[in-house]
Structure 1
Amino acid sequence: MSASPAGVPSTQAIPTGWRRRVDPRPGLQRVVASSMAIVQIVVAATGAFVFAHFVLGHPAPLLAATVTVGSLGLVRDARPRQVAETVLGMLVGIVVAELLYLIAGTGWWQIALALGVTLIVARFLSAQPGFAIAAAIQSLIVMVIPSPVPWVRLIDGIVGGVAALVVTALIPRSPVKTEVRDAERLFAAFDGSMAALTQALRRGDRFRAERGLEKARAVTPVVDDWRSSLDSGRAVARISPFLRRQRSELQRHERIRRSMDLAVRNLRVVARRVVYLCDDGMPRPVVADLLGEIARAAGIVASSLDDISFEPAAREAVLAVAARLDPRTIVPEASLGEQNLVAGLRPLVVDLLTATGMPHADARLAVPRI
């Protein structure tokens, strides 16, 4: 079995037959990943139902529970603003349906009318499709299961929405753990692309260079996942008293994310130049070594996510490469394309330096003037 430069096997066993069909591990992983969300939903829905039933005296506060379940959900983005928008959409559906129920009663055509009006109003109020769907579901519940007491279900919906927001703050999902997992996926994808490009330059292999370009392009969705989970975590940390200590760590990770977002864009530029260079099939070990050093330095930046003490080592590793990125000296007799490739590595290295906490102006001064 061969191994990639990152130490990950390039081939591995793939389960087939009955083992693939009954493997419980993916399901268990989903349960573990959603465990805190499940706790949030159970606590919020139960608490809202208990309050509406035993404190307010509502006989069957169905909407108090359904609003909490629908607003929290199992999605990655559980930021308070997102939860509040979903709650607002549900309340819009309840209000519209209650008004139409008082005016026209219930029946098949009243249900159709309530659903149509709710969707129109919700789409007017918000550009998010989920907002309109949440409103429509609650509107249907109000029309199909009428209540003899007007507006009691609106109160239930408000109780459910407040419970969802309170639980978001008091039983927060683990923001750092989630976003670090996304960050690790980003750095792994970044390393995979760099490894393919390094091997392509070392062998003069255009096919491998194109594979590296494909991997570089595939990193973009991973960057978006990290941005989403990090934004969600920072939003929850701002309102949760239990996440106060994590706010500075999340802010530091946001700085790394912004830098890596730019680094990924520059990686695609580098990858396209590598594909162009490998057209002639000539190996370029000097530039390959440069790319390999940058990849190893990026690995140290990844280690600094969990341990800030790695940042100085990561900065020194990137600086060691940055100081040599002068195309006129490192590849003096090379072609124009090879010198352009070295020049293209300069902004990538600047991005990695800012990821280690170096100010952008100082990072730019770290590379030689050309």
Structure 2
Amino acid sequence: MTDAGAQRRLAAVLAEVHGRSRSGAGAGWSRIRAAFGLAMQAGVAAGIAWFVAHDLIGRPAPFFAPIAAVITLASSVGQRARRTVELVVGVAIGIGIGDALILLIGSGAWQIGLVVVLAILVAAAVGGGTPLVVQSASSAVLVATLTSTTGLPWTRFFDALVGGGVGLTVMTLLLPLNPLTVVRRAADPALEAMADGLHAVARGLQAADADAVREALAQLRSAEATFAAFAQAATAARENVAFAPARWRVRGALSQYVEGAAELTYALRNVRVLARRVITALDDKEGMPACLPTAIALLGDAVGLLREEWSRAAEPEATRERALRAAAEAGRAYDEGVGFSGSVVVAQVRTTVTDLLRATGVEHGQAPRLVRRAVGRHARNQAARRNAAPRRRIFVPRRRDA
């Protein structure tokens, strides 16, 4: 390799490393920004919980109060109130079992193991979730190991009450997160993944490249996690805006995300079915009319427009128009001639358009009517051709008796 070639290769490697480092730093900063609100909530809640339990109530070492406050804030989104109740109940179960058994059998290695086993079984028996089971076990361990040094272990139950109450107060009144910002950060990558996947499927279909469509399908499958995060964020946003008066002003813009999250999850599933059928059509060498990749690309445009219009809190009229254009373009396949897989692709485009319309606020029953109207003439032409086609008679030989 010449010196000039080596220098060019080195420059390319350095440029790639520089680009990766910049993208890594940017991603890290984005994660810091996303976690900053929760970090502030948890820090303030932990400090207040200690102050209330130690300085106001007079507990000498209320270590469980700040822990309970942080656990409350860091629990699963959309279920903080339930998680707080499970936390307190779990602590009560663990402390009660630990107190009773340690008084009867003493403390030691096998006693700790037995206490943990019984605490988990009791928590499971009452139908508790993971937080209740975990807190029951951890509280039982604390009682079994710290009883001799902390005096009255059952007072940790009151620490949990203080910490959980402070956590909920900080979350809803003192430092409520902006639910619109949270849900938008969760929705944007989900919508972007769906739009990119649809555009990739359209390009693969147009180029008759089944491997490209398979790659797009894999990306759409991996987007399931982002859509699950979007759904969780929408659930949490509904809870936060209900209990945080300071955030009531964003209810209108927030309702777009909250009401559309479920319909978009349905749309993602239909898009994956569409991609699988495109792969089948390409593998079978089935002829596909040129209007189908165009319709799929228009569908991707509609998803991208939805992301933009929701971010501006605008009425998603452009999204509806583009989605109905996709349905109409797919309907042209009936006029141009379409095989079995192609007809399935048309049906999936129509179903996805229906999901998108419902996500934009169109009434549940009105959405399919709008799609049928958009497809309209093409579907009627297909039905007319099907009725006019001569029916082939199938000869079935008569069975002769032996």
Q: TM-score, normalised by structure 1?
A: 0.85
Pairs within 5 Å for 1:14-33: 15=17, 25-33=26-34
Q: 1:148 is matched with which residue: 139, 147, 151?
A: 151
Judged with a 3 Å threshold, the aligned counterparts in structure 2 of structure 1 residues 276 and 190 are, in CA distance, closer, same or farther, namely same
Shifted more, 138-147 versus 155-164: the winner is 138-147
* Residues 158-179 of structure 1: per-residue CA shift (max 9 Å, x gap): 2122112222212223322222
The separation in 2 between residues aligned to 1:172 and 1:203, in whole angstroms, is 50
Partner of 1:120: 121
Judged with a 3 Å threshold, the aligned counterparts in structure 2 of structure 1 residues 149 and 205 are, in CA distance, closer, same or farther, namely closer
For 2:280, give the aligned amino acid: Y
Pairs within 5 Å for 1:169-318: 169-170=172-173, 171-279=175-283, 280=285, 284-318=289-323
Are the aligned partners of 2:69 and 2:166 in contact in 1 as well (CA < 8 Å)? yes
Partner of 2:369: 365
Task: State how many pairs are aligned.
Answer: 356
Whether 1:166 and 2:169 are equivalent positions in the alignment is yes
Partner of 1:95: 96
Q: Which runs of 4+ in 1 moved over 6 A?
A: none
Judged with a 3 Å threshold, the aligned counterparts in structure 2 of structure 1 residues 93 and 237 are, in CA distance, closer, same or farther, namely farther
For 1:285, give the aligned amino acid: A
The separation in 2 between residues aligned to 1:88 and 1:74, in whole angstroms, is 15
Are the aligned partners of 2:291 and 2:330 in contact in 1 as well (CA < 8 Å)? no
Greater share of residues in helix: 2
Are the aligned partners of 2:274 and 2:344 in contact in 1 as well (CA < 8 Å)? no
Are the aligned partners of 1:204 and 1:282 in contact in 2 as well (CA < 8 Å)? no
Deviation at 1:260, TM superposition (A): 1.0
The separation in 1 between residues aligned to 2:153 and 2:144, in whole angstroms, is 12
Deviation at 1:75, TM superposition (A): 5.7
Whether 1:42 and 2:43 are equivalent positions in the alignment is yes
Are the aligned partners of 1:259 and 1:355 in contact in 2 as well (CA < 8 Å)? yes
Judged with a 3 Å threshold, the aligned counterparts in structure 2 of structure 1 residues 26 and 140 are, in CA distance, closer, same or farther, namely farther
Q: TM-score, normalised by structure 2?
A: 0.79
Are the aligned partners of 1:204 and 1:283 in contact in 2 as well (CA < 8 Å)? no
Deviation at 1:221, TM superposition (A): 2.1
Are the aligned partners of 1:93 and 1:135 in contact in 2 as well (CA < 8 Å)? yes
Are the aligned partners of 1:72 and 1:83 in contact in 2 as well (CA < 8 Å)? no
* Residues 235-274 of structure 1: per-residue CA shift (max 9 Å, x gap): 1222122222233433321222122112111111211221
Whether 1:342 and 2:334 are equivalent positions in the alignment is no
Shifted more, 88-97 versus 60-69: the winner is 88-97
Judged with a 3 Å threshold, the aligned counterparts in structure 2 of structure 1 residues 87 and 252 are, in CA distance, closer, same or farther, namely farther
The separation in 2 between residues aligned to 1:71 and 1:100, in whole angstroms, is 28
Which of these two proteins has the greater Rg computed from alpha carbons?
A: 2
Root-mean-square deviation (Å): 2.8
Q: Give secondary structure in 1 for the equivalent of 2:61.
A: coil
Partner of 1:132: 133
